[in-house]
Structure 1
Amino acid sequence: MAGVEMSVEPDPGLADTGDLQYDLPDIFTLIGKAAMAAKRGWILSIDEVQYLSESDLSALIVSLHRMSQDGLPVLLVGAGLPQIARLAGEAKSYAERLFHYPAVGALDAVSARRAVQRPILDEGASISSEALDLIVERTRGYPFFLQEWASETWNDAEGPEISLRDADRSYSKTLSSLDRGFFKVRIDRLTKGEVQFVKAMAHLGEGPYAMADIARTMSRTPSSLGPSRANVISKGMIYSTDHGYLDFTVPLFSEFMRRQG
């Protein structure tokens, strides 16, 4: 049987130390020079940045710092939970000078209404103002929840105009779908002890939550809950909003936990 084999001899001494903090900048430099020669730019997109290890994040920051110093057309667009600014600063102290950290949160009421209404109008249908108000209010403008509820309402509506009754009727189905998927995937990451921690948070009402209040609810001392707090933060469920205060990273998660009893 005939075949074709191709191979490339590696350039010795280039990105072969086995240490990412030395190798990754070399790789970025080659990419950046190639992009510059082609009069193009190169953008690296990374989602869930908070799950990078400290060493990987440090190597990434070092690489981008070199790109900045050398004036090469390489950019990073990253997305993640609110703690990524702190994590980047802990990995490399100069990270704050390299990046901008724009907050991406819920849509305002006008934008949320438009996000639901526009696709419906584009399909030659309509939705009542009351139905729009209900969807925007209960989702608090969180884009994914808007999408899920609007989709269920669209599928369940009986006529060309989506009414308040249509939206209200599809709410329980939307919650059930989110509970089985979106929320359950997150709670399944936690140990039993960590679940008790987030349950205590949820039963305090809406956040942010003081660590002292969480400890009091669990009949524990704040210091004894340190490991649970750190683990739940590392799993992306909660984040520190201020010294001694926590909140859920996912909107409406506290309501989900209260529904679990």
Structure 2
Amino acid sequence: MDGILSPFNPGAGAPPPALTGRDDIREEVRICIERVRSGRHSNCQLLVGLRGVGKTVLLERLLFDAEQRDVITVHLEAPEVKSLPGSIAPALRVALLRMSRTQTARDAAIRGLKALAGFVTGLKVRYGDIEVGLDYPPEPGLADSGDLELDLCALVVEAGRAAKSAGTALVMFIDELQGMPQEQLSSLLYALHRCNQYQLPVMFVGAGLPPVIKKIGDAKSYAERMFEIHDLGALSNDAARNAISIPAEEAGVVIAVEALDEIVAQTGAYPYFLQQWGKLAWRASRESPITAEDVRQVSGPAVDALDRNFYRLRFQRLTFLERRYLRTMAELGEGPHDAQVIAANYGRPHEELEPVREQLVANGMLHESLIGETAFSVPRFHEFLKRIMPTPMRVEAA
């Protein structure tokens, strides 16, 4: 069938044609935002999961849902290069300007813009990547100390007061949160905590890989009580089938029950994988309905596409020692695995390999499970490693 008409869209953060299996989270976030807007307490929200489970897609949908209810939103991606001050300053300026158009919030929003000017002035030397237009001169003593924690807190508090005056809420959405430097994350948590203590309508929705939970806990002792954590994984059987069948039916194409069974089995119900199989099965089919044989026909090409587009870029950034460590893990299975067992199979003392493991955790390839074992942060990465390096001995000779 014509690939141009296919509804399936595998891509980083690309919205699927049907967002299934996440309605309970959307409803929980909606309730929390409305509670905050009405002056009641709600915890911040954290979306946690492996690569390819749809964290970014869900975060974007939650942001869209909030904007449809006239909530003031700030959207950032935790920067690998740009600092939090450099990212949040222009975003808060836009938010404050929007609030200043509400008559009841004009004075509070102007004070927030003056705080922004002080924030930029005080931190410009330390964070040279802050580039933002200033609409008002700074007010001496307002968010201008040059201390990130104090100044960010003062700025966010003033933005929260403006939101309260406007009868709305300010909600910050930040993706890839595990990449935020610890000091900057700590400062953000402090600002959110103070807003909560002042009963201001400020809320935070973040998304990140599993290591972000420990990182948040290490940043502030009270952080564990600030968040509700949503663990995103593979979809349920019904949600996975609906993710394929609903958009196909809307496009006038039927997918046979056996074909849906085959897709769910081959993908493990991971959202990104579902889109890849749906895309190729659509193209392989001559006509509706798409059959199980069509799905089996594209199994090899779908795996090849994952290897090229989903796994390979991550693999190529690894050092020889990191590749060997991961290949040793892959031989043990999907995991998670005890670091001592990995080291024993690698053939080196655990202490000698710990820097390699720590670097893999730092760059998001691995994470620690709840019981301290080491797990892959990318779904089915152990299978890819076995395909690209068929035997552990080949790693030795690389």
- Normalised TM-score (structure 1): 0.94
Whether contact under 8 Å (1:106, 1:140) holds in the other structure is: yes
Deviation sequence 1:70-97 (CA, Å, 0-9, x none): 1111111001111222111111111011
Aligned CA RMSD, in angstroms, stands at 1.6
Partner of 1:74: 202
- Give 1:197-212 correspondences, 5 Å limit: 197-212=325-340
Superposed CA deviations along residues 107-148 of structure 1, whole A, max 9, x for unmatched, are 011111111111111111111122111111121111111111
Which residue identity does 2:306 align to in structure 1? L
Question: Among residues 284, 308, 311, which one is paired with 1:183 in the alignment?
Answer: 311
Match in the other structure for 1:30 = 158
Alpha-carbon contact 2:334-2:380 (below 8 Å) kept: no
The DSSP-based 3-state class of the residue aligned with 2:173 is strand
**Equivalent of 1:43 in 171, 176, 182:** 171
Q: Unpaired segments of 5 or more residues in structure 1?
A: 1-5
2:46 matched residue in structure 1: none
Which residue of structure 2 lines up, in the alignment, with residue 59 of structure 1? 187
The alignment partner of 1:100 has SS state of strand
Aligned 8 A contact 1:189 1:235 in 2 = no
Which of 367, 374, 396 matches 1:239? 367
Q: Distance in 2 between matches of 1:60 and 1:260?
A: 41
Equivalent in the alignment of 2:215: 87
Q: Counterpart of 1:3? A: none
Shift of 1:51: 0.7
Which position in structure 1 is the counterpart of 2:233? Answer: 105
Farther-moved stretch of structure 1 (12-21 vs 118-127): 12-21
How many percent identity over aligned positions? 39
Contact in 2 for aligned 1:135/1:146 (Cα 8 Å): yes
Look up the SS of the partner of 1:102 in the other structure.
strand
Shift of 1:19: 2.2
The secondary structure found in structure 1 opposite 2:200 is coil
Asked if structure 2 preserves the Cα contact closer than 8 Å seen for 1:35 and 1:41, the reply is: yes
After superposition, the Cα gap between the structure-2 partners of 1:219 and 1:169, relative to the gap in structure 1 and judged at 3 Å, is same
Q: Shift in Å at residue 203 of structure 1?
A: 1.4
Instruction: Choose from 248, 266, 275 the match for 1:138.
Output: 266
Q: Does 1:221 align with 2:343?
A: no
Alignment gaps of 5+ in structure 2? 1-133, 390-398
Partner AA of 1:9 in structure 2: P
**Partner Cα distance (2:244, 2:350) in 1:** 43
| TM-score where L is the length of structure 2 | 0.62
Q: Tell whether 2:210 aligns with 1:116.
A: no
C-alpha distance in 2 between matches for 1:106 and 1:132: 15
Question: Does the CA contact (< 8 Å) of 1:33 and 1:72 recur in 2?
Answer: yes
Instruction: After superposition, give the CA deviation of every residue in 1:156-211 in whole Å (9 maximum; x if it has no partner).
Output: 21111101111111222222221112112222332221111111111111211121
Count of aligned pairs between the two proteins? 257
Provide runs of 4+ in structure 1 moved above 3 Å: none
Among candidates 380, 391, 394, match of residue 252 of structure 1: 380
Q: CA deviation at 1:242?
A: 4.0
| More relative contact order, 1 or 2 (CA 8 Å, 6+ apart) | 2
Partners of 1:16 and 1:186 in 2: CA distance: 41
